[in-house]
């Protein structure tokens, strides 16, 4: 007796993207690639698995990601620890150093694909999700920071998004942060009674992160904390000012948010987020900033860099609210046939049509005309080609329009010789 096999389901927080929705992904990816090419960004593909050390170092030990969100394992007891990438930047910088891709000039690169974080799944927050991650490697000036923000503003326009807003801050440089840090720790010590577990644990290791809290009880303490901005030197302020000037020239509104520190440790100077009011609690669609110290942190030569990542699930959710685009058809032509001879001839004619670049579905298997027409209609094809026994005998083929023409008229069904089918289709597709 065989035991019943218990059905296997997908892992919680990891979504299947089904044929009915994948067209939205492909459409978005194609818009993104065209947009990235417009700004000179080239694609870069790094492995999904990296050594755990890379992320621990590159993202920072005292971060949500490294402390509790990484998928980490070893293949055997004495093997190195591996981690499924929770973001792209660390891997891209690792590869940039390894292949020395910035040795003769700076590089604009992007990556797109899955990332993994073990978080509590909810709307807009998954355990496998997708990012497009953009990095400008080897650029020091504020011009490139501003260019990336202007570039994002163009993307929102391309996608028809309106409810999306820029928040901006500067984290200054290491020494400036040090002075601020001392003042901040004093402030946290004075308010230790309102700090939660995480806050108390991080107040000496990463006090800036304590302000990046979602705990309502800590908001007032965070709002009254010493502002990093007041500790910035002339150069840092000038960098930030130049970005603001360029954004104003480009007509891009922004809010300076002194509390914006971002979850990742490696940022300096510019940090920014694009947030929306349309997605509930999961409001951040894009986050980025400058990370001039990351190359040296990972053992490379000093290389200034700036970048950002967009969460594609959140972006698609926002697009779905903003626009109503219907699914594209599956084919231009659907070939219907009856009888063995017709079935074989149908394949030959379909190949001739594909030579013209058309998308063609040949009905698979045999079925009544009625049910084949039903399938043809569902496919969204403009024209059904019909090969019945009569057509095969006479060397003809029938064309039945399935959709209205551009002028709103329904064309007539015609029967032509099989040699003339391509010419006849050219008039209709």
In the complex, the residues that contact ligand ATP under the rule CB under 6 A are 87, 117, 119, 124-126, 129, 131, 263, 282, 284-287, 309, 311, 313-314
- In terms of CB distance, is 89 or 418 closer to ligand ATP? 89
Nearest Cα to Cα of residue 243 among 178, 135, 161, 152: 152
Q: How far apart (Å, rounded) are the C-alpha atoms in residues 147 and 423?
A: 49
Cβ 318 to ligand ATP shortest distance, Å: 10
Other CB atoms within a 10 A radius of the CB of residue 243 amount to 24
Binding site membership: which residues? 87-89, 117, 131, 135, 262, 266-267
- Of 136, 67, 65, residue with least CA distance to 307: 136
Q: Is the Cα dihedral 330, 334, 339, 340 positive or negative?
A: negative
Q: How far is the CB of 228 from ligand ATP (least distance, A)?
A: 18
Annotated binding site for L-histidine: 87-89, 117, 131, 135, 262, 266-267
The structure tokens 């492909």 sit at: 26
Instruction: Give the integer Cα–Cα distance in Å for 125 and 307.
Output: 22
Distance between terminal CA atoms of the chain? 57
Nearest CB to ligand ATP, comparing residues 87 and 391 = 87
Complex with ligand ATP: residue 267 or 373, whichever CB lies closer: 267
Judged by beta carbon, residue 276 or residue 379, the one nearer ligand ATP is 276
Minimum Å gap between C-beta 133 and ligand ATP is 8
Compare residues 148 and 338 and give the one whose CB is closer to ligand ATP.
148
Q: What is the DSSP letter of 309?
A: E
Q: Are 346 and 362 in contact (CB under 8 A)?
A: yes
Number of residue whose CB is nearest ligand ATP? 311
The three-state secondary structure class of 340 is helix
For residue 388, the minimal CB distance to ligand ATP (Å) is 52
**22 vs 317: CA distance, rounded Å:** 13
| Shortest distance in whole angstroms from residue 126 CB to ligand ATP | 4
């Amino acid at each position: 007796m065989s035991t019943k096999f218990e059905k296997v389901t997908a892992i919680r927080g990891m979504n299947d993207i089904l044929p009915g929705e994948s067209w939205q992904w492909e459409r978005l990816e194609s818009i993104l690639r065209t947009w990235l090419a417009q700004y000179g960004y080239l694609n870069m593909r790094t492995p999904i698995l990296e050594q755990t050390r890379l992320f621990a170092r590159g993202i920072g030990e005292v971060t949500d990601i490294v402390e509790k969100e990484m998928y980490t394992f070893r293949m055997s007891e004495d093997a190195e620890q591996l981690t499924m990438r929770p973001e792209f930047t660390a891997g891209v910088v690792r590869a940039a150093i390894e292949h020395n891709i910035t040795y003769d000039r700076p590089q604009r690169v992007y990556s797109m694909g899955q990332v993994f974080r073990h978080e509590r799944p909810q709307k807009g927050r998954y355990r496998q999700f997708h990012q497009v991650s953009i990095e400008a490697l080897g650029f020091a000036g504020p011009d490139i920071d501003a260019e990336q923000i202007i570039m994002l503003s163009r993307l929102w326009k391309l996608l028809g998004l309106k409810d999306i807003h820029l928040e901006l801050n500067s984290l200054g440089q290491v020494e400036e942060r040090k002075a601020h840090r001392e003042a901040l720790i004093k402030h946290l010590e004075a308010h230790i009674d309102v700090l939660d577990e995480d806050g108390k644990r991080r107040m000496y290791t990463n006090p800036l992160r304590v302000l990046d809290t979602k705990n309502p009880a800590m908001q007032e303490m965070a709002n009254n904390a010493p502002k990093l901005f007041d500790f910035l030197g002339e150069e840092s302020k000038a960098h930030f000012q130049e970005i603001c000037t360029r954004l104003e020239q480009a007509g891009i509104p922004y809010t300076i948010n002194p509390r914006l520190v971002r979850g990742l440790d490696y940022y300096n100077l510019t940090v920014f987020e694009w947030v929306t009011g349309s997605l509930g609690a999961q409001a951040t669609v894009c986050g980025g900033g400058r990370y001039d110290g990351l190359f040296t942190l990972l053992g490379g030569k000093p290389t200034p860099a700036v970048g950002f990542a967009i969460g594609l699930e959140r972006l698609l959710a926002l697009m779905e609210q903003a626009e109503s685009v219907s699914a594209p058809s599956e084919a231009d032509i659907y070939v219907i046939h009856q009888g063995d001879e017709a079935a074989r001839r149908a394949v030959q004619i379909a190949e001739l049509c594909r030579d013209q670049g058309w998308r063609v579905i040949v009905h698979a298997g045999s079925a009544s005309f009625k049910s084949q027409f039903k399938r043809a209609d569902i496919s969204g094809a403009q024209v059904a080609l019909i090969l019945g026994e009569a057509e095969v005998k006479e060397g003809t083929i029938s064309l039945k329009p399935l959709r209205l023409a551009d002028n709103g008229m329904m064309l007539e069904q015609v029967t032509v010789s099989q040699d003339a089918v391509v010419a006849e289709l050219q008039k209709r597709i």
